[in-house]
């Protein structure tokens, strides 16, 4: 079931609105890549009614498309979600439609897990509203030039860029206006667009949306931004840490709950000194308690852990505070109606569906168990030594093992999902351990 979206939406009617004659049907894989097939309209309408067979290899290979699973890589049932139909933002009378694996194979899907958490929130009396914001680097490279250079020291676009740069926005307005227009045609709202620290660095906070749409918007933003800039001979890089000489790239997530009875903000209590309700405090407590053991769900790449080190403007331990950018969960309470939690751990390379599922699953668990987050932190948390129980795993291998051992994570997401995800992260980390870097050769070749 699709949570917080219209039910029984007719595919024929949705395609009529767009005037589409072809449909790009896509499934998000474990890393958030939108894997698509283009089919004629008649076939898309048929698949929307009868189901969509799709190869199970998406959960048996890694981001480099190297298989690690076993079996015959057969087609398994999937379903289309007609309510997700959007106009194809490029040439032609075309559309896109999100699909996903049906149960029981679909247990492995981060998007399905998110929908389950959204349904749980609804059963508890809440609707969920959220938004991602992404930092990313623009590189003056295309696919060919990156490979010619061996991906080493890629050339940056907008070399003179500064944080909140008037010059970059003025000089590149045509390119950036095109990005905004393309996203608007996809139904993805941009709350702002500005430059960030470093050459060719941009930040785009997305407009908040209800339910699964917020994660769909975020995942589609990344996929289509990369495609848009490639069409202009550039590369949009969403790596957590592109270089040791550059700052890390974040993928912060803003989350709030609203009461279904009257649509009032569930995180607000005007009588509280900080304006926070007990629901908000329980939610924060659950998120803070489970961050260390569920970190891999929002930080699923080896590179994500390059950012979560001291001095990189990223948290290294579970903590919370009011309006403090050095903690992992920052409460933003400028306006009662917009009171929310900013989950500052995810990087730009996060899988949006998994990051939101993790945040929501942990927060709802905190509400169910009426947890207390303790007093908010104060001061620069980057300067403090975290306690062992709050410290994050320092690499993907450790994070995968913590997740594997988490009884709470298994209770929230199920053994099938956790086992599948951990297997994939172990494979990713093992691939990294086999690699010998330039740094190692420079460090040890002439010494040891």
pLDDT digits (tens, 9 = 90+) for 295-305: 999 999 999 99
pLDDT given for residue 72 in this prediction: 82
Please state the rounded mean pLDDT for residues 78-85: 97
At the top level of CATH, which class does the domain 11-108 belong to?
alpha beta
- Given the DSSP bridges, would you call strands 209-210 and 235-237 parallel, antiparallel or unpaired? unpaired
Cα separation, 361 vs 295, whole angstroms: 13
Q: What is the DSSP string of 428-440?
A: HHHHHHT---HHH
Q: Which fold has domain 119-444?
A: Creatine Kinase; Chain A, domain 2 (3.30.590)
User: Which of 165-174, 310-319, 417-426 has the highest average model confidence (pLDDT)?
Assistant: 417-426
Please state the rounded mean pLDDT for residues 39-45: 97
Residue 63 banded pLDDT, cuts 50, 70, 90: confident
- Across the chain, mean pLDDT equals 94
pLDDT given for residue 14 in this prediction: 96
Share of the chain above pLDDT 70, in %: 98
Token pair listed for 344: 């500052």
Token pair listed for 110: 């981060």
- 201: β partners: 137
Per domain, the residue ranges of the chain are 11-108, 119-444
Tens digits of per-residue pLDDT, 238-291?
999 999 888 899 999 999 999 999 999 999 999 999 999 999 999 999 999 999
Q: Are 191 and 207 in contact (CB under 8 A)?
A: yes
pLDDT given for residue 3 in this prediction: 43
pLDDT value at 2 more than 70: no
Q: What is the pTM assigned to this prediction?
A: 0.95
Residue environment code for 112-141, b if the CB has 16+ CB neighbours within 10 A, otherwise e: bbbbbbbebbeeeebbbbbbbbbbbbbbbb
Please state the rounded mean pLDDT for residues 335-350: 96
**Nearest of 290, 356, 415, 291 to residue 132 by alpha carbon:** 356
Please state the rounded mean pLDDT for residues 90-107: 96
pLDDT given for residue 313 in this prediction: 78
Cα separation, 432 vs 295, whole angstroms: 18
Angstrom distances, CA of residue 176 to CA of 13, 136, 162, 168: 32, 13, 16, 10
Please state the rounded mean pLDDT for residues 45-50: 96
Tens digits of per-residue pLDDT, 171-223?
899 999 999 999 999 999 999 999 998 999 999 999 999 999 999 999 999 99
pLDDT given for residue 5 in this prediction: 43
**What are the φ and ψ backbone dihedral angles of 156, each rounded to 5 degrees?**
-95, 150
pLDDT given for residue 91 in this prediction: 85
């Amino acid at each position: 079931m699709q949570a917080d979206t219209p039910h029984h939406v007719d595919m024929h009617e949705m395609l009529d609105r767009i005037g589409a004659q072809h449909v790009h049907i896509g499934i998000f894989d474990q890393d958030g890549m939108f894997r698509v097939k283009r089919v004629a309209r008649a076939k898309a309408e048929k698949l929307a009614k009868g189901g969509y067979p799709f190869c199970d290899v998406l959960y048996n290979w890694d981001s480099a498309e190297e298989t690690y699973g076993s079996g015959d890589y057969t087609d398994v049932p999937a379903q289309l979600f007609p309510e997700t139909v959007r106009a194809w933002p490029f040439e032609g009378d075309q559309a896109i439609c999100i699909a996903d694996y049906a149960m029981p194979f679909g247990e492995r899907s981060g998007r399905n897990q998110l929908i389950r958490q959204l349904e749980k929130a609804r059963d508890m009396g809440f609707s969920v509203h959220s938004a991602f914001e992404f930092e990313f680097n623009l590189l003056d490279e295309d696919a060919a030039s990156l490979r010619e250079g061996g991906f080493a020291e890629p050339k940056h676009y907008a070399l003179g860029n500064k944080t909140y740069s008037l010059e970059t926005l003025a000089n590149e307005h045509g390119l950036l206006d095109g990005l905004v227009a393309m996203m608007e045609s996809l139904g993805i709202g941009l709350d702002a667009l500005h430059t960030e620290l470093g050459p060719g660095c941009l930040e785009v906070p997305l407009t908040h949306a209800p339910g699964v749409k917020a994660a769909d918007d975020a995942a589609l933003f990344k996929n289509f931004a990369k495609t848009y800039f490639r069409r202009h001979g550039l590369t949009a890089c969403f790596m957590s840490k592109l270089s040791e000489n550059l700052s890390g790239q974040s993928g912060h997530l803003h989350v709030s709950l609203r009461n279904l009875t009257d649509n009032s903000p569930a995180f607000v209590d005007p009588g509280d000194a900080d304006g926070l309700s007990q629901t908000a405090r329980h939610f924060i407590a659950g998120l803070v308690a489970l961050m260390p053991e569920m970190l891999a769900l929002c930080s699923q790449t080896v590179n994500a852990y390059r950012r979560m080190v001291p001095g990189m403007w990223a948290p290294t331990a579970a903590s919370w505070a009011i309006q403090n950018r050095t903690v992992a969960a920052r409460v933003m309470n400028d306006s009662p109606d917009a009171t929310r939690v900013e989950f500052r751990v995810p990087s730009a390379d996060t899988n949006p569906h998994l990051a939101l599922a993790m945040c929501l699953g942990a927060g709802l668990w905190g509400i169910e168990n009426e947890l207390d987050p303790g007093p908010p932190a104060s001061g620069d948390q980057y300067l403090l030594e975290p306690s062992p129980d709050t410290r994050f795993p320092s690499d993907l291998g450790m994070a995968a093992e913590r997740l594997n051992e988490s009884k709470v994570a298994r209770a929230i997401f199920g053994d099938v999902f956790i086992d599948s995800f951990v297997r994939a992260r172990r494979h990713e980390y093992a691939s990294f351990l086999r690699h010998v870097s330039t740094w190692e050769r420079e460090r040890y070749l002439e010494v040891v």
